[in-house]
Structure 1
């Protein structure tokens, strides 16, 4: 029995580099939360000083954002968040580090509570516990069984085709129905697109590390830039029609779901995991999603909004 336990421990495919990737992802989550707070403030300032428009921010308002110190600071923080996120992807599989972005939701709720001088209520504390518990379980299991694999040309073509269809769908929807869109559309769209951004970034890093940088990888870079640009525009519109908590809540659910889904289905990052690990992933994901939904409904800023 003792020897069996030793053999089981030795056979676990744990990559020590993940000890670097996970902290980097957590730091990125901190900058994501703070950046969202500052950008939201900048968007609100611009909207307060300009004529209200429907169907999203117009080019004039987008230019005015560049003059808002709060928005610029927020953008710089989001830039740092991206740097740390990309750095984490160089050390750990996407299925390990991407869900850690949900930490930003917890920080956002706490920061809003301090800014609005509203204590975190009991429902919010329960939701935060669900988020942390679900994420902790998910990452713990993933850290043992998720492994990096070289991305094949077939994998990359599949990802690019799906991304092309997604971009086309969102562009057509925005062109035809943008005057009717609410915050939830922009949040959903940004979450889906950022999920692809994280995946494409991981693909580019993976192929570069394996000396496989050619035309398909360049197509991947182009897709990443397109998805990131449209996603960023959607985020700014989401700030103009909803609180930062709602934006972060949506992003931290949809973004990881898309990225992790691609990591599992297309990249096969947990192909060698036992059956029980799959159930553990599902349970952890359900707990985290439940926590995010509860927090988005009961976060401190929502209480302030209702009272006002």
Structure 2
């Protein structure tokens, strides 16, 4: 299959996967609010959530989205597939508003569209290619990145466990995004190995690491959704970190390439800044909406107490 035909399969599959992840995020974030807050990475949370139909809907959407992501990774470079997941911010905001029976916040959607525009420009300029890519990870060359990512995840978890501040949710989201990006990189390796034979992945380390890191990332995402009142800021962090890690793994471990001429590199950096600006705007807007919700809750509680006192 030529590159154009492969991309014609990979890109729609990645976008549909992003939509699936957006629906899963909205449904799971809503369901996690209905159960008791659990410790980070505690399996007890999943046991409680299994009784919630809304969470089961999110689980089904996650499975479908993962299948679509695997299809996309089988046909396209990870440097294309993972950045397309940034569109999940838009889908998550829309589905979250739909499930809550309210209109999506227009400024959140504007930030999401900004992310999508920057992403489209980046992909057009960078033109990621998997020509010459290797399906086997060179552990020696990837060890510094692996150590740095592990340290980042541990640091985020320690911060979230020891600091009582709203930013702890973003720390959990950052750790989730890193685990998702690493999982995607390893899944790319596994899909490549499957071309050799159905038993080939079982002879390599990547599959077994996915079976550990993947569930950890999923469980951590549920902790993240449970801790935050608004889904958009956390999703913005997760879906922005995920592709960054995916591109790093694709270029440094899997031999994928990007166009890096001076002019194109300048354009890619500008497009990346547009994506970062969109994400920062979503986080800022989410913080503003959260503050407004907290103020409304305070006023509502005060009025209720006043009515009770004079009732």
Please report the TM-score for the alignment, with normalisation by the length of structure 2.
0.80
Which residue of structure 2 aligns with residue 132 of structure 1?
A: 116
Moved more, 71-80 or 207-216: 207-216
Is 2:14 the partner of 1:25?
Answer: yes
Q: How many residues align?
A: 289
Moved more, 130-139 or 146-155: 146-155
Which residue of structure 2 aligns with residue 75 of structure 1?
A: 59
CA change 1:157–1:16 in 2 (3 A) is farther
Moved more, 204-213 or 244-253: 204-213
Which residue of structure 2 aligns with residue 199 of structure 1?
A: 185
CA change 1:136–1:230 in 2 (3 A) is same
Which residue of structure 1 aligns with residue 211 of structure 2?
A: 225
Contact 1:150-1:207 within 8 A present in 2 as well: no
Moved more, 82-91 or 213-222: 213-222
C-alpha deviation, 1:270, in angstroms: 1.7
CA–CA separation in structure 2 for the residues paired with 1:183 and 1:150: 36
C-alpha deviation, 1:96, in angstroms: 1.0
CA–CA separation in structure 2 for the residues paired with 1:213 and 1:275: 43
Is 2:245 the partner of 1:258?
Answer: yes
C-alpha deviation, 1:132, in angstroms: 1.9
C-alpha deviation, 1:198, in angstroms: 0.6
CA–CA separation in structure 2 for the residues paired with 1:93 and 1:21: 9
Contact 2:142-2:252 within 8 A present in 1 as well: no
CA change 1:282–1:66 in 2 (3 A) is same
Q: How does 1:98-117 map to 2 (within 5 A)?
A: 98-114=82-98, 115=100, 117=102
C-alpha deviation, 1:42, in angstroms: 1.4
CA change 1:23–1:212 in 2 (3 A) is same
CA–CA separation in structure 2 for the residues paired with 1:226 and 1:200: 11
Contact 2:111-2:279 within 8 A present in 1 as well: yes
CA–CA separation in structure 2 for the residues paired with 1:59 and 1:98: 27
Moved more, 32-41 or 177-186: 177-186
Is 2:161 the partner of 1:178?
Answer: yes
Structure 1, unpaired ranges of 5+: 1-12
Contact 1:151-1:207 within 8 A present in 2 as well: no
Moved more, 20-29 or 62-71: 62-71
Please report the TM-score for the alignment, with normalisation by the length of structure 1.
0.81
CA–CA separation in structure 1 for the residues paired with 2:197 and 2:133: 10
C-alpha deviation, 1:218, in angstroms: 2.5
C-alpha deviation, 1:167, in angstroms: 4.2
CA RMSD between the two structures: 3.1
Q: Deviations over 1:178-228 (max 9, x none)?
A: 243721221111100110011111112123325697589621111112211
Which residue of structure 2 aligns with residue 46 of structure 1?
A: 35
Contact 2:157-2:171 within 8 A present in 1 as well: no
SS of 1:17's equivalent in the other structure is helix
Structure 2, unpaired ranges of 5+: 297-311
